[in-house]
Structure 1
């Protein structure tokens, strides 16, 4: 069965520095860049599988928005109140085209997705007023559909497939691993790599061979509570480091002005920091 011709597809994409915080990319690959690549491959497949004007990308990140516009998709502002609020915002924008249009919501982190996978899933969903396609584990939701878009009420999050089913969505256990494998952590990334990912994700991962040489700088700011901070490089640039990077440094604290050595990725993100003379297994008080 082919999908009805007027599906509108809502794809929420977080983007930015906080995206995919559970991912630990290879050295030289920025997490933010990888997250953008995952979304790019997913949206490229979506826009190949249906008219791009009916793909609504909900985001607050300008890089994601620019990428989506480059694919001729529509961009909807993310209200910033979580995934379900983002889906509702996209749904409402879609319904502005017609109150009874069919609307689907798809996760934006499906880098192995192909256009034919989306076509097959929407075709199957078109047989039911409400439908849900669970993720590969059978617990989360990758695709949620409603033939009457106003009836699309998202409840994404842990265990969402069961919640959506309880709310009346027909559960569709489709043999579409490329559509059902989303990326939240390192194990998921390995799973989609085995399936085969799109060009953007492949290019992003190839950056692992392009780590920049160590840089020198000084602590510019440091939050004792979160462990995150920033450094001012000797060339005048300010770069930030996450609490995960600080935790991996084996340092207990930092003070403003303290000299540091830093490894940067190709995206100018700090991947490692240390003080000369303090090794990986040493600590300072």
Structure 2
């Protein structure tokens, strides 16, 4: 199962300098790619954005966990993970990978099965786009600034995903947004 936390679109708007609609579309594109990934049974989206929740409700193999208000990434992830049985392989994919190709995610998830806990670094090598945990293994993650080094320090195995992989290309800056929108069009 994959958990995708999506911030309210208004929060992403200020950081990226774009409309709420565009920010929402980036998150929904990530969800659609995850759902289309071979072997993914269900995607659990956690969000405090009622419009995003409404847009995703009814999408096949997507379950929405609504938060009454944003509580931060760590608590959002924890609330979604609490809805997943402990005997299931879990992954958290951040919701800002709009150019994600399902085959890229499938390859990384397959590699992750060889390790109790694993992660994928972003293209810069400092952030993280994906964290996984084997069935029955206690969840550990440290998303945020310099998360790649913190995930290594927690003992997570870094999956050697090629730089060209769409899984490594998240959208954190206006320049990355422009690149993602250009490729999307």
In terms of fraction of residues, the more helix-rich structure is: 2
Aligned counterparts of 2:136 and 2:71: Cα–Cα separation in 1: 21
Shift of the alpha carbon at 1:53?
A: 5.6
Q: Structure 2 stretches of 5 or more lacking a match?
A: none
Shift of the alpha carbon at 1:58?
A: 0.4
Aligned counterparts of 1:103 and 1:167: Cα–Cα separation in 2: 17
Aligned to 2:74, what secondary structure does the other structure show? helix
Aligned counterparts of 2:165 and 2:179: Cα–Cα separation in 1: 10
The one of 16, 26, 49 aligned to 1:23: 16
Structure 1 residue runs of 4+, over 4 Å off?
50-53
Q: What count of residue pairs does the alignment treat as equivalent?
A: 182
Q: Structure 1 stretches of 5 or more lacking a match?
A: 1-7, 26-30, 203-285
Shift of the alpha carbon at 1:24?
A: 2.1
TM-score by length of 1: 0.60
Say whether residues 1:169 and 2:156 are aligned partners.
yes
Change (3 A) 1:161 1:49: same
Query: Would you say the 8 A contact 2:53–2:66 is kept in 1?
Result: no
Q: How does 1:6-85 map to 2 (within 5 A)?
A: 8-25=1-18, 31-50=19-38, 54-72=42-60, 73-78=62-67, 80-85=70-75
Whose RCO is larger (CA < 8 A, sep 6+)? 2
RMSD over equivalenced CA pairs, Å? 1.9
Shift of the alpha carbon at 1:68?
A: 1.8
Please tell me whether Structure 1 or Structure 2 has the larger radius of gyration of its CA atoms: 1
Aligned counterparts of 1:180 and 1:89: Cα–Cα separation in 2: 25
Query: Would you say the 8 A contact 1:102–1:146 is kept in 2?
Result: yes
